[in-house]
Structure 1
Amino acid sequence: MTALLEGRTALVTGGTLGIGAGIAERLRAHGARVAVTGVTEEECAQARETGAIAHVLDVRDADACRRVVADVVAELGGLSILASNAGVYPQARIDAMTDADIDAIFDINVKGTIHAVQAAIPALEASGRGRIVVTSSITGNITGFPAWSHYGATKAAQMGFVRSAAIELARRSVTVNAVLPGNIVTPGLRELGQEYMDRMARSVPAGFLGEPADIGEAVAFLAFDGARYITGQGIVVDGGQILPETPEALEDL
């Protein structure tokens, strides 16, 4: 594997499972020293068995974010990459959605992203080549799906944050970008059932669903020195899912 990120240090929030684990694995494969966070001690213990540095973190807690970042900076000797990936995607139809449902998803997906970034800024700036990569989604930014209107709203909000944060941090040697995954094979996706996964795969021009490593490679690209002039952008990683105008556009494939 290339030494694309040799000498770099990274923190991946929500990095013990699914897409986050794929991001952490690819950053390590490209030479970075990586720490991850998970929601439970059990998740973190499993990550430590693979040699990872892992901390329990609830990104809704701004003080906890600052403490974990400080610990990671001490453990890794600095921080030059933040992959803000922690998030949830519960389903709720609009007419059944409660304020508690709305508050819960916004607190994690939006406030949690902001908290992680706020905590990491001093160390990222001190590195002289800070990189922030937020895991957003095609849902809410480009597409929609029933029962995920509140989820889509949080993902669109993340992109609004990315664009303005990129301006604020541009002259502090910190870039801010996002990856926008399509359907990626994770434990959460598998819980939706094989029928759903098969249907989603048929909607992708590439003909298959992505893996967490596919998102990790996009994050690695945005994190390396050659991407220094890219900021405030979102890279769609979806096998072409958003491209067809109609399902009929795929029939000849």
Structure 2
Amino acid sequence: MKPDLFARIRALGKLTRTQTKMVNLFNSSPNLLAFENLSALSQRANVSKASMVRFLIHILGYRDFAEFQTERQDAMALNLDSPIMRFLKDTKQAPEDRAVVDTHIPYTLQAIQQAYGRLDLDSFNRMADILTQTRRPLHLMGHRTAFSLAYMMFINLQYIRPRVFLLGGAHPSMPAQIFNVEKKDVVLAISRRRYSKISLEITRKLKELGTTLLLVTDSEVAPLSGLADVQLVVTPSSQGGFESITAWAAILEALTLTVADACRKAEPGYSQKAEELLDSLFGFLEH
């Protein structure tokens, strides 16, 4: 089975400025690729037809534009045929006074399904393998909404493996936080639009130290992509002007669970010790 469009893009590595324009279009408007002709797609990406043809055929390896578009139509059909998409279609025909929750929940489920469908499982498993190297300190970072995702993962990983640290939160403290990061360490950076400039600068510094950089982001051509040792792309989704983090949370939870299973073997008894210590310090109440 041939790799799909986004798998081919991930295999390329660094892209030129013209290629980046095309990939940005592919990421932001995947359904257009199934129906618009070569001229229209080139115009939308603000590149020449010749550049689009070179990229699709000579770089990505499609036989011709027709093969590329057939693949995109097949991919779109899979989503349209799913039960969730059929439900979404029904909701569009529903009365205008239908509650937001009635459309948002199925839309969110569909966003998770799409993100999972485009997930690079090889990169997912490579990232999980590195996260289970419990002798290596692990630093998690993100800014704005990405910080909330990093914090969620930090809380969960504390119960699973030792030497887990959180970077970020207060921007002025970030430079001081990286003083103790060393070459053997692992950094997991979560980066979403709108991308943080300070995240880019600090990630560059961390990479210069020789750390292993794991990146979870929303585009194959995100600003931090060129720095990553392993990159995982989560398809962005938005409704009502807000970018949803639900698919991100689901994939990061799956990553945490994968790591947990391996860490129980590498660090037997650690989770129980962590639970007992936190209970003794904070005295969580249960009803």
Shorter-chain TM range is under 0.3
Larger fraction in strand: 1
Rg comparison, structure with higher value: 2
Higher RCO by CA contacts (8 Å cutoff, separation 6 or greater): 1
Larger fraction in helix: 2
